[in-house]
């Protein structure tokens, strides 16, 4: 079958690879009908995430179930399904606490040996381990484009909001309006934020956030901290979601958030950085970080998408064929797209 | 000044009473500009709540600050304000835990000696103890009709949803579509419920709930339990808000709610009743009950109303003058109104 | 192999039954070395729980792993293990939320077709489905007698305390001092309760509770409500655990608990009963109910037992051989024992 | 009256100052009978906290009520009382949420104009604003030495544990065994920690922690991270309390804590520092920080001290007279004391 493989930094290839086979009673095989290109894929593309040349990449997917192992009952052959970007065992210490994203034997699609040697989904077919945890049927009437988001980017925006402790009527800020940040804007509005201050430097992204009901504030041409104060009688926002993953964003988040508020860092941090611990301390802030627990949230995310409360549709800027993957990556790398959907 | 007083079951009178005077540094006096008639007032009208003849009734109000004690800084003379239906001391065991509604020395407006001998707000003026906890400025652009709800009925609907533990994407049911139930429908939608099943027997109320985005289900002509199952793959609703206060509603709530779900009883219970404890137990349900902690919620409720996420406007069915209070009570008693606003 | 089977109300038999065999990759087979007789077994013995004649009963057990399916890695052949009283799938809606006790396909040992047709553990061997969720290694130095409790009675006492929301320094009451109530007393003390008021009518049980650090209060010869008031400046206890399961206990719990407190009903309710909903409502109480989520708690329970913070040792009043099971049940039925441990 | 005043870095003076007078209906005046010297006082002594020369310092105190304003009912003239180290208004946004430690008009005793110009308690008398929130009666049988801790250091240890989210059976680590760290060790044990790993470099402090039931681990001569792994099957501790306030402690906390665990930074941070955000992120940690909300906790802390679950007695190493304050500060500065109690 055809699949997109990593070759070298800046180089992906569409090539023939072996079809997957069931190897465990909990496995399923899905015929991929749409698969996204995500910011995480760009980390691989740039060589920042180590991965073996020839490994199939991609982790956002919808499709039709081709085969299931004997332990799989929640989905059946022929079902249209979407899936989460990672698997979990369902039995370890972390899974028993519901922290599926930190499962001791979790595997992430398309990230090579580092994250469990699980072939990616930018291919004609994919093997899905522990399918009952990972797959969900696509609700009636939902497009592939939308469903694609539930198990990755929208699930991530939802996670950021849920873990921020936002209560209906709170004021939230979202820093960084890439796909995750924009999904967090939607999720915060849908969860009852009285106001969402959405911050970025790209006018197009600010405009999308505004169309989602946020108050768009340019990072440098306007004054995000003043906007936070103005919206809260001077206190600062109740919760601040950092969807950037850069120390300057983290610092701004600490400054914009009121005493006893929460900074939720969904943006990826991988290194050491200078942090104003004094600010964190004197304001009695809470900080939570890390990638999303999508397996835990995907049912509710789907329910909200079905109800029209979350709608990733406006984020899809490009449709291309799987064979065009090299062009898609180049285009995404030039920041000309928010979300590209590939069709095998 | 003129005020509406209780005289006897079924009889209220508009009469002259003394104007209030500041007696504590934390007091304020408010010139009442609009005051609502509420379901609780009907309990008094029916003689079910004991109250001294001649006592001024009413507890929903907006107006302008006429005077403040020296300890009051958060509002000033001339401010347009709304207020909560009860006061709290801010210092006792319960207030220190944020349970202002259960303050050991709480006083409720217009409920006679039983609830603290605090004259009601269906009058030209009202004395407001501990005004910093009880009063809030009306946000710019908000009508009196809307503001009136924040400190009572809408705060109550919000409380029911917040205490139900509803998460965005959950499915909720609301039993009973009087003003509190309808506000709970709005609050549940605004808090991200994927679906709200709204149940009553009155077509007009079902229609209003539907206009708020709920799925309207007639209690007897349709099948609420089937609707709950249909919306949740057979599990039952995640949370069920009982805004009725009758054992049959409580029983339906226990039946409609999924295992490990929550039944929130905001509807008033005052007596013993038969309850299916076996159902409660085998389904591992949570139950929470009691009237709303409006002082704790009123800031966020106002923020949501300002943002248009909550809008009590459609609930106001009648405007009358304070002098027409006897007719208003009679009309309300005949269930011909959802909410009557009196103007002194 | 030899096993204790239900025959008819009041009649159990020790007879030969087939040895279990692995049938799923997640299964394990355990050679039972000690197995308890529990209050739930008495419900079967009395015919109140329907079960097929000839079915093996019992659900408390420790032993040595004889065989494991290929998916089982957390325990190995030869490990000394204890187990939980029920199984869970680890994949359904309820398991994904960590509510293993309400798993859609949960099976309870020794309760016949009603609860999943899983043969009991009062036998020489037992088949353990989904062994990674259900079994734990016995910590070094822990006796069989103690380990036996972790997966059932002590896990249940722990659950009651955890779900009551008890904070360190709170005052708790425990109604009913059978094995579960006494374990709840220990768990409440270990969790930092400043005072635990332990209530029963049996002097021996009151004495054990006192030896665990509780304040023992005779239900009828003393005044539990006065004790609650005395311990809390008149407010009532912060949390009340009902380990009885009788409407009179539930009523006492509602009365003893302070405003905004929690009543945790771990005692079994199966029927309708009159409940003072007015009390529940006016005091803004929380009620939670249902059997314990032992799979979720067993690691922490074991850790506390290893550290000596929980010690079920004093509850074991009798050791008997498996062959003596009929005498054991008769003795337990006469309430002459707190906990009987059978040895195959 | 006599009082200890700050003069210059390294110089305190016992001098005559005016007696306090009631100025608000919520005030009380307390005759100080014992007052502690605390680590925060040392910050003043070192000139790191700016304070006016001649200002009375100190914020730990017990004594007898000499006078109360007319609004004070919870304590009366002649009552033996202890107090919290700071005041709160009970009415602002933060107080309404129960975050008294972040009250918009909070005042801290003995910290000069920066923290509200409230004269300190190392004096013969002290003025206590909002006495109903700040003062508590000393429970019968409790010594001055013990009571002194409830409103400051022990309340702080309790806060650290409560905010860490520790559940009974969890494994905790405490970094830094000064008075706050040692109180946190006690609080963690009392809250049901199965094991507390207590880390410092001072053998005497390690020995005290061990006597409190902790596993003492020398920071440099032993291996704290290995101890954490050993206690948790390699996962890391569930919660880690940083009672040091130095970036190296924060870093160790991030490393010792398991995925999805909590780092609670009760130790004071005032500046920027390099933090391994990558570790925070990849482990999905929670961080909470800031000083203690003692007003919220003091009732439960007192209840635990009364019950003997918390006992600060062993921390008091020196008793001196108020007149000896200069020697006391010098001695404390040389780290020769854990806690010095001054008697006016």
pLDDT tens for C23-33 read 999 999 999 99
- Tally of domains in chain D: 2
The ipTM, to two decimals, is 0.96
Q: In terms of domains, do C119 and C182 share one?
A: no
Tell me if D254 sits within 8 A of D276, measured CB to CB. yes
Bridge-partner residues for B128, per DSSP? B28
Closest-CA distance, C291 to chain D, in angstroms, reads 19
User: DSSP letter string over A122-171?
Assistant: SBSEEEETTHHHHEEEPPTT--HHHHHHHTTHHHHHHHHHHHHT--TT-E
Nearest-angstrom CA–CA distance, B81 and B63: 6
pLDDT at A40: 87
What residue in C sits closest to B233 (Cα-Cα)? C93
Q: In terms of domains, do A267 and A326 share one?
A: no
Cα-to-chain-centroid distance, residue C129: 20
pLDDT of B277 above 90: yes
Neighbours of chain C (3+ CB pairs under 8 A): A, B, D
Backbone angles phi, psi at B205, to 5 degrees: -70, -40
The per-residue pLDDT of chain C, averaged, comes to 96
D132 closest CB neighbour out of B25, B91, B295: B91
Residue D22 token pair: 């009631």
Cβ contacts from A onto B, under 8 A:
70
pLDDT at C108: 97
A91 closest CB neighbour out of C25, C92, C132: C132
In a domain, B276, yes or no: yes
Q: How far apart are the first and last CA of chain D?
A: 10
> What count of other Cβ atoms lies within 10 Å of the Cβ of residue D337?
18
SS (H, E, C) D107-120: CEECCCHHHCCECC
Percent of chain B with pLDDT over 90: 96
pLDDT at D40: 87
Contact state of A281 with D269 under an 8 Å Cβ cutoff: yes
Which residues from chain C sit within 8 angstroms of residue D194, using beta carbons?
300, 303-304, 306-307, 309
pLDDT of B229 above 90: yes
Neighbours of chain B (3+ CB pairs under 8 A): A, C, D
In a domain, C269, yes or no: yes
Nearest-angstrom CA–CA distance, A133 and A137: 12
In a domain, B148, yes or no: no
Residue B59: closest CA among B149, B143, B120, B126? B120
Backbone angles phi, psi at A281, to 5 degrees: -75, -50
> D177: part of which helix (H) or strand (E)?
none
How many Å is the Cα radius of gyration of chain C?
20
Cα-to-chain-centroid distance, residue D61: 12
Report the SS3 class of residue B343.
strand
Report the SS3 class of residue D134.
helix
What residue in B sits closest to C250 (Cα-Cα)? B277
Backbone angles phi, psi at C48, to 5 degrees: -80, -25
Nearest-angstrom CA–CA distance, A222 and A242: 18
Tell me if C129 sits within 8 A of C107, measured CB to CB. yes
Q: In terms of domains, do C133 and C76 share one?
A: yes
Tell me if A255 sits within 8 A of A225, measured CB to CB. yes
A277 closest CB neighbour out of D275, D284, D291: D275
Which CATH number belongs to the domain containing residue D328 in this structure? 3.90.180.10
Residue B300: closest CA among A169, C271, C310? A169
> A309: part of which helix (H) or strand (E)?
none
Q: In terms of domains, do A132 and A164 share one?
A: no
pLDDT at B237: 98
Which residues from chain A sit within 8 angstroms of residue B161, using beta carbons?
168
Q: What is the mean pLDDT of residues C53-75?
A: 96
Cβ contacts from A onto D, under 8 A:
122
pLDDT tens for C228-281 read 999 999 999 999 999 999 999 999 999 999 999 999 999 999 999 999 999 999
Bridge-partner residues for D32, per DSSP? D63
Q: Is the dihedral of CA D299, D302, D308, D314 positive or negative?
A: positive
Bridge-partner residues for C3, per DSSP? C15, C123
Cα A268 to Cα A99, B96, D216: the distances in Å are: 18, 39, 36
pLDDT of B39 above 90: no
pLDDT tens for B282-341 read 999 999 999 999 999 999 999 999 999 999 999 999 999 999 999 999 999 998 899 999
Tell me if C165 sits within 8 A of C239, measured CB to CB. yes
Contact state of D91 with B296 under an 8 Å Cβ cutoff: no
D90 closest CB neighbour out of B25, B90, B97: B90
How many Å is the Cα radius of gyration of chain A?
20
Cα C339 to Cα B79, C145, C188, C217, C319: the distances in Å are: 69, 10, 20, 22, 9
> What count of other Cβ atoms lies within 10 Å of the Cβ of residue C220?
8
Residues 6+ apart with CB under 8 A from C308: none
Contact state of B99 with C291 under an 8 Å Cβ cutoff: no
In a domain, B10, yes or no: yes
Residue C333: closest CA among C31, C29, C38? C38
Per-residue pLDDT tens digits of chain A, which is 344 residues long: 999 999 999 999 999 999 999 999 999 999 999 999 988 899 999 998 889 999 999 999 999 999 999 999 999 999 999 999 999 999 999 999 999 999 999 999 999 999 999 999 999 999 999 999 999 999 999 999 999 999 999 999 999 999 999 999 999 999 999 999 999 999 999 999 999 999 999 999 999 999 999 999 999 999 999 999 999 999 999 999 999 999 999 999 999 999 999 999 999 999 999 999 999 999 999 999 999 999 999 999 999 999 999 999 999 999 999 999 999 999 999 988 999 999 99
Nearest-angstrom CA–CA distance, B151 and B164: 20
Per-residue pLDDT tens digits of chain D, which is 344 residues long: 999 999 999 999 999 999 999 999 999 999 999 999 988 899 999 998 889 999 999 999 999 999 999 999 999 999 999 999 999 999 999 999 999 999 999 999 999 999 999 999 999 999 999 999 999 999 999 999 999 999 999 999 999 999 999 999 999 999 999 999 999 999 999 999 999 999 999 999 999 999 999 999 999 999 999 999 999 999 999 999 999 999 999 999 999 999 999 999 999 999 999 999 999 999 999 999 999 999 999 999 999 999 999 999 999 999 999 999 999 999 999 988 999 999 99
Cα-to-chain-centroid distance, residue D253: 20
Which residue is listed with tokens 């007279």?
Answer: D321
Q: In terms of domains, do A121 and A167 share one?
A: no
Tell me if C268 sits within 8 A of C241, measured CB to CB. no
Q: In terms of domains, do D124 and D236 share one?
A: no
In a domain, D242, yes or no: yes
Cβ contacts from A onto C, under 8 A:
38
In a domain, C196, yes or no: yes
Q: In terms of domains, do D322 and D285 share one?
A: no
Give residue ranges of A with CB < 8 Å to any D CB. 93-94, 97, 99, 101-102, 233, 235, 247, 250, 259-260, 265, 268-278, 280-291
Contact state of B187 with A167 under an 8 Å Cβ cutoff: no
Tell me if C82 sits within 8 A of C109, measured CB to CB. no
Structural domain of D160: 155-289
In a domain, C295, yes or no: no
Q: Which of C169, C172, C239 to mutate to test the interface with D (most CBs of D within 10 A)?
A: C169
Q: In terms of domains, do B166 and B104 share one?
A: no
Which residues from chain B sit within 8 angstroms of residue D74, using beta carbons?
91-92
Tell me if C241 sits within 8 A of C164, measured CB to CB. yes
Q: In terms of domains, do D162 and D127 share one?
A: no
Q: In terms of domains, do B174 and B259 share one?
A: yes
Residue B98 token pair: 């944020």
Bridge-partner residues for B321, per DSSP? B343
Cα-to-chain-centroid distance, residue D189: 18
pLDDT at A49: 86
DSSP D123: B
Closest-CA distance, D90 to chain C, in angstroms, reads 20
SS (H, E, C) C61-119: EEEEEEEECCCCCCCCCCCEEEECCECCCCCCHHHHCCCHHHCCCCCEECCCHHHCCEC
pLDDT at C49: 86
Which residues from chain D sit within 8 angstroms of residue C194, using beta carbons?
300, 303-304, 306-307, 309
pLDDT tens for B193-220 read 999 999 999 999 999 999 999 999 999 9
Tell me if B174 sits within 8 A of B293, measured CB to CB. no
Closest-CA distance, A170 to chain C, in angstroms, reads 24
Tell me if B314 sits within 8 A of B334, measured CB to CB. no
> A203: part of which helix (H) or strand (E)?
helix A203-211
Q: Which of C289, C304, C335 is the last residue of a domain?
A: C289
pLDDT at D341: 97
Q: What is the mean pLDDT of residues C201-205?
A: 96
In a domain, C294, yes or no: no
Residue A46 token pair: 């740039």
pLDDT tens for C160-194 read 999 999 999 999 999 999 999 999 999 999 999 99
Which CATH number belongs to the domain containing residue C282 in this structure? 3.40.50.720
pLDDT of B49 above 90: no
Q: Which of D97, D277, D292 to mutate to test the interface with A (most CBs of A within 10 A)?
A: D277
Q: What is the mean pLDDT of residues C118-131?
A: 98
Q: In terms of domains, do C160 and C130 share one?
A: no
Q: In terms of domains, do C77 and C161 share one?
A: no
- Rounded to two decimals, what is the model's pTM? 0.97
Nearest-angstrom CA–CA distance, B29 and B1: 13
Contact state of D309 with C167 under an 8 Å Cβ cutoff: no
| DSSP-derived pairing of the beta strands A125-128 and A28-37 | antiparallel
Closest-CA distance, A132 to chain C, in angstroms, reads 6
Q: What is the mean pLDDT of residues C76-96?
A: 97
pLDDT of C10 above 90: yes
C272-294: burial string, b at 16+ Cβ within 10 Å, e else: ebebbbbbbbbbbbbbbbbbbbb
What's the farthest any 2 CA atoms get from each other in chain A? 61
Tell me if B258 sits within 8 A of B265, measured CB to CB. no
Helices (H) and strands (E) in chain C, counts: 12, 16
Q: What is the mean pLDDT of residues B164-188?
A: 98
Nearest-angstrom CA–CA distance, D212 and D189: 8
Nearest-angstrom CA–CA distance, A343 and B3: 72
Phi-psi group of C110: left, alpha or beta (phi > 0 → left; psi -120 to 50 → alpha; rest → beta): left
Residue A298: closest CA among A164, A172, A137, A143? A137
Which residues from chain C sit within 8 angstroms of residue B290, using beta carbons?
280-285
A7-17: burial string, b at 16+ Cβ within 10 Å, e else: eeeeebebeeb
């Amino acid at each position: 079958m055809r699949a997109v493989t990593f070759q070298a930094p800046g180089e992906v290839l569409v090539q023939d690879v072996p079809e997957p086979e069931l190897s465990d009673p909990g496995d399923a095989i899905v015929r991929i009908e749409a698969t996204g290109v995500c910011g995480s894929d760009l980390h691989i593309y740039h060589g920042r995430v180590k991965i073996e040349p020839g490994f199939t990449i991609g982790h956002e997917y919808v499709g039709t179930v081709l085969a299931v192992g004997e332990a799989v009952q929640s989905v059946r052959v022929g079902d249209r399904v979407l899936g989460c970007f990672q698997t979990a065992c369902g039995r370890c210490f972390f899974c028993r606490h519901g922290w599926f994203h930190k499962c001791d034997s979790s595997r992430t699609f398309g990230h090579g040996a580092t994250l469990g040697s699980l072939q990616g989904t930018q291919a004609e077919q994919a093997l899905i381990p522990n399918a009952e945890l990972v797959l969900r049927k696509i609700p009636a009437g939902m497009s592939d484009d939308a469903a694609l988001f539930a198990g990755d980017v929208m699930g991530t925006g939802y996670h950021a909001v849920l873990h921020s402790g936002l209560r209906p009527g709170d004021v939230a800020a979202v820093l960084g309006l890439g796909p995750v940040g924009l999904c967090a804007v939607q999720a915060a509005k849908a969860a009852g934020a009285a106001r969402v201050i959405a911050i970025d430097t790209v006018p197009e992204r600010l405009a999308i956030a505004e169309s989602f009901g946020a108050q768009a504030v340019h990072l440098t041409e306007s004054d995000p901290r003043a906007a936070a104060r103005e919206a809260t009688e001077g206190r600062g926002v109740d919760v601040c979601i950092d969807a950037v993953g850069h120390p300057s964003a983290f610092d701004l988040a600490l400054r914009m958030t009121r005493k006893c508020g929460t900074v939720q860092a969904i943006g990826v941090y991988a290194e050491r950085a200078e942090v104003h611990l004094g600010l964190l301390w004197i304001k009695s802030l809470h900080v939570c970080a890390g990638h999303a627990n999508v397996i835990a949230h995907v049912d509710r995310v789907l329910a909200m998408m079905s109800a029209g409360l979350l709608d990733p549709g406006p984020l899809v800027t490009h449709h291309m064929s799987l064979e065009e993957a090299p062009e898609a990556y180049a285009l995404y790398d030039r920041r000309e797209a928010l979300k590209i959907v590939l069709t095998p």
